[in-house]
Chain A
Amino acid sequence: MRRGIPWVRIRRAVQGLALVAFLGLFVWSRRGGWPPSIVNVPLRLDPLAMLTHLLSSRTVLVGSSVALAVLLLTLVRGRMWCGWLCPLGTVLDVFSWNRWRVKKQPPPESLRKVKYSLLLTIVFAALLTNMTLMIFDPLTILFRTLSVSVWPAVDQMVTAVELALYRVPVLRSGVSTFDGLLRPTALPASPAFYRYSALYAGFLLGILALNLVAPRFWCRYLCPLGAMLGSLSKVSLKRREVNDQCQQCDLCARVCPTGTIRPDEGYASDPGECTVCLNCMEACPYGAIEFPFHLSPAGWETYDPSRRQALMAFGAAIVAVALARSGLTALRDHSRLIRPPGARENDLLSKCIRCGECIRACPTSAIQPSVTESGLEGAWTPVLVPRLGYCDYSCHACGQVCPVQAIPPLSLEEKRQQVIGKAYIDENRCIAWADLKPCIVCEEMCPVPDKAIKLETVEAVTPDGDTVTVQRPRVVRERCIGCGICEYKCPVNGEAAIRVYAPPDVS
């Protein structure tokens, strides 16, 4: 590690490659893409997700051991994950807004406590089988936002451009070829819709906007995964040191993105905050910065978690979990709480890491992040919204891609038998029932081999006194699997005239 080796460039190249790899895995995680075992790697690398899943579900997943690689890296080289690999960290580096930042004092050092409090609360809540706060995990934030906001928006933009260019006859064949390359590999053949996609985009934009206050604000003060790796970095083998060549020129402190280099303490830094970005080493004109071996742990900082903080986090977790499950905020008996095939309610709540892989994999965008259906505790867990998409009879992708088996990996045959809900006809809205007009769309669409919707031909009298023959749909409840294609395709405006409700045996 002598001067001359362009470490910052190398680091940036690694960051870029890692980001491309993560994005690539995201893009091809749609059904028909790469196998689930590969698609799952990014989330299995996340030690926080794997630890909380282990604590909360009390089940051991072999695939989780991938996260040990990140832990090992941290024990050797500190928070290198944050500075070199984390896709959200790289995005924060790209959108650093350095030029727009008003130069002023950074926030107080005590703010760094927040991330430790968050981490402790997440871990304690996981012990109480609650995973709600995993919505703050950096990888789940990124993947969820990509699935629900970014990619659908990209799709809409591309479609708008294609639509405009396609009207120019000269460009038609070109646009067709371009579209053929893009779909269905990278973008879906028909657009995906997600409720509240602006909410998720806003969450990520908020994190990006905080960069205006201080570079990598999220990583410094808020990131629970950063806190986890930071505490481990206290005992990492290689840590930053300033040797006696230092001339107190202050350059290193100025380039440090996490602001952990303290001029008043001889330009020393906290390994719990250092992301090993190596900006300081390259900036130092005297070669005063080294990363030697250490065996003794690094010193405790004022903002590092104290016993009091841990106890408070524990208390907060208990109160929050209790409140989330009390009648005040729980909406778990929501009649439209339709879960992905095979997922059991309590299992799902204690296993789901809120990563949104199932949402991404679902080819019909039937799976949506829950906002109200599942109450506060189930925020952003997957829920099926049949009016927006149906569970495709030829697909079992959600269970295959789920990195933590919160949705069980059913075979296609098993999934076709799996009851996820039951359809009920609203005779006041149904075209055939209420208007006495021909419409058999629900029956036509029903994928069950012997049809869970049957048509009965009846004679009815219209308000004008005419007698008409009409085919009326009826649901054969035992056969219905609740896939929701009937509700999705129902041509009635607004709320469908046939709707799927959670099956009675799901609490």
Chain B
Amino acid sequence: MSRLTRKQFFNRLAAGLGVLGGGWLLSACGGEETATPTATEAVSTPTMGAAATATAGEATAPATAEVQPSAAEGEPEAPAPTEAQASSATATPSAGPADLVVARGGEPEELVRQAMATLGGMERFVQPGYSVIIKPNICVAYHTYEYAATTNPWVVAGLVKLCRQAGAGRVRVMDNPFGGTPEEAYLRSGIQEQVQAAGGEMEIMSQFKFLPTEIPEGRDLRSCDIYDEILNADLVIDVPIAKHHGLARLTLAMKNLMGVIRDRPAMHSNLGQRLADLASRVRPGLIVVDAVRVLTANGPTGGNLDDVKKLDTVIASTDIVAADSYAATLFGKEPMELDYVRAGTEMGLGRSDLNNLRIEEILLGT
């Protein structure tokens, strides 16, 4: 290799930077905004545009959602409306799957499998090659899963396996703990071990991927730094553990989305509305609430086994409000006692009128 003179070196450096800068400019023109960026799709990340179109398309949906059963809402992450209809038509029998499935009494992984089968199978949500992100609650690195501060590892792993079987490409699992480092939290919760054994990846959420994001439907929270990968995934599965929380009263699926944003303390004023606003932008396609063990007091951190109650229950739904509403009843609470359920219902994110929902309960023999 010949040695460069200083001038040559700077010339080449300038050329390289110019190319990079040009690419950046081009891509910025191509589609920073929510308008469908065909240019970006063509480049390398076909999923980018998909999330954007899905949300753009859904902006009109909430009004109709109230009247129409949630079958239309079932595929919020599908790349195009026509495809979504096609897949739901093939996957669902004439009556269509229930709005919400509750599975009780069995091993966590079996509960997940049965609940998902009843909800129409994972194939309803995952198409071959899909990039899936599972967002469990791994809020602290303090305790093992028995303390019910973090989602049950086998519930998460069960979902990973189902996604893989349905032909998903990458299945990533991530959270952004507030207490302790993510690497320690992934280990101690036991989730890393089970997820990796099931063929999934644990991703440490990188600081630079929290990008400023508009929340068009937000009523209080209009913009926020949201984890970019979450918005770009083909399917986001929200897998909270049901537990006590001092302000929100319970932390469930909507509260679990706190993990995908950067500035969490700012959420605490008007928490209920802001959680609903956030949910309106993230729009997880599938919600699986882990109530195998629930934490009844001293949440969300836990640490006392006396506060843990074993319910052996898993709730699965496409409707985040419905899932949280049902989970609230496990603690003897009315759905409307939770601010975020009320806000989510008002915004039309989903339904909290449990009596009118088609709920299918399955009891597994243990």
Contacts and interface: CB of A to CB of B under 8 A. Distances in A.
In the A-B complex, the 9 residue pairs with the smallest Cβ-Cβ separation, listed nearest first, are A449-B303, A491-B265, A394-B141, A449-B304, A163-B208, A440-B246, A440-B247, A394-B180, A162-B208
B45 A169 contact: yes
A50 to B, nearest CB: 32
Contact of B44 (A172, A431, A451, A471): A172
Given A438-B247, A444-B246, A445-B301, A179 B206 contact: yes
Interface in A375-395: 392-395
A438 B271 contact: yes
Interface in A167-184: 167-170, 172-173, 175-176, 179-180, 183-184
A363 B298 CA distance: 25
Given A166-B209, A363-B184, A393-B180, A447 B247 contact: no
Interface string B334-361: 0000000000000000000000000000
A183 B247 CA distance: 33
A393 B184 CA distance: 11
Interface in A446-472: 446-451, 455, 471
B142 A394 contact: yes
B57 interface: no
Interface in B154-207: 178-185, 188, 203-207
Interface in A156-212: 159, 162-163, 165-170, 172-173, 175-176, 179-180, 183-184, 188-191
A304 interface: no
Nearest to B143: A394
A170 B303 CA distance: 44
9 contacts: A162-B206, A167-B28, A169-B40, A175-B208, A184-B181, A363-B181, A393-B141, A438-B269, A447-B142
B162 to A, nearest CB: 25
Contact of B204 (A180, A444, A485): A180
B85 to A, nearest CB: 29
Contact of A447 (B30, B140, B205): B140
Interface in B125-152: 140-142
Contacts of A168: 20, 23-24, 27
* Centre residue among A165, A172, A450 by max chain B CB count within 10 A: A172
Interface in B235-276: 245-247, 265-266, 268-269, 271
A312 B179 CA distance: 52
Interface string A138-167: 000000000000000000000100110111
B59 to A, nearest CB: 23
Contact of A392 (B181, B208, B269, B304): B181
Nearest to B23: A168
* Centre residue among A183, A446, A447 by max chain B CB count within 10 A: A447
Given A170-B27, A184-B182, A394 B204 contact: no
Contacts of B24: 167-168
A394 B184 CA distance: 8
B289 to A, nearest CB: 20
B302 interface: yes
B188 A394 contact: yes
B48 interface: yes
B44 A440 contact: no
A384 to B, nearest CB: 16
Contact of A395 (B20, B184, B298): B184
A332 interface: no
B285 interface: no
Contact of A451 (B27, B48, B209, B298): B298
A455 B246 contact: yes
A437 B268 CA distance: 10
B207 A447 contact: no
Interface in A423-446: 431, 437-441, 443-446
B241 to A, nearest CB: 15
Given A163-B208, A393-B142, A449-B303, A491 B266 contact: yes
A408 B23 CA distance: 54
A31 B208 contact: no
A288 B201 CA distance: 64
A268 to B, nearest CB: 41
Nearest to B203: A180
A24 interface: no
Contacts of A393: 140-142, 179-180
A175 B209 CA distance: 10
B300 interface: yes
A489 interface: yes
Nearest to A32: B183
Contacts of B28: 167
B207 A395 contact: no
B246 A394 contact: no
A182 to B, nearest CB: 9
A169 B184 contact: no
A392 B141 contact: yes
A431 to B, nearest CB: 8
A453 B161 CA distance: 40
Interface string A360-378: 0001100000000000000
Contacts of A450: 298, 303-304
A445 B229 CA distance: 26
A44 to B, nearest CB: 26
Contact of A166 (B43, B208, B246, B268): B208
A190 B298 contact: no
Given A162-B208, A169-B45, A440 B268 contact: yes
Interface string A288-329: 000000000000000000000000000000000000000000
Interface in B9-51: 20, 23-24, 27-28, 30, 40, 43-45, 48
B268 A159 contact: no
Contacts of B229: 176
Given A443-B246, A449-B302, A394 B268 contact: no
Contacts of B208: 159, 162-163, 166, 175, 179
Given A439-B269, A491-B266, A392 B303 contact: no
Contacts of B45: 169, 172-173
A91 to B, nearest CB: 25
Given A168-B20, A444-B300, A491-B268, A159 B179 contact: no
* Centre residue among B40, B204, B246, B271 by max chain A CB count within 10 A: B246
Contact of A173 (B44, B204, B303): B44
A249 B125 CA distance: 84
Contacts of B209: 166, 176
A393 B140 CA distance: 9
A183 B40 CA distance: 27
A163 B181 CA distance: 21
A189 B204 contact: yes
Nearest to B268: A439
Given A393-B140, A394-B142, A441 B180 contact: no
Contacts of A173: 44-45
A179 B205 CA distance: 10
B44 A189 contact: no
Nearest to A188: B181
B83 to A, nearest CB: 23
* Centre residue among B28, B40, B245, B247 by max chain A CB count within 10 A: B247
B206 A395 contact: no
B44 A485 contact: no
A163 B188 CA distance: 30
Nearest to A162: B208
A36 to B, nearest CB: 16
Contacts of B30: 169
A440 B43 CA distance: 45
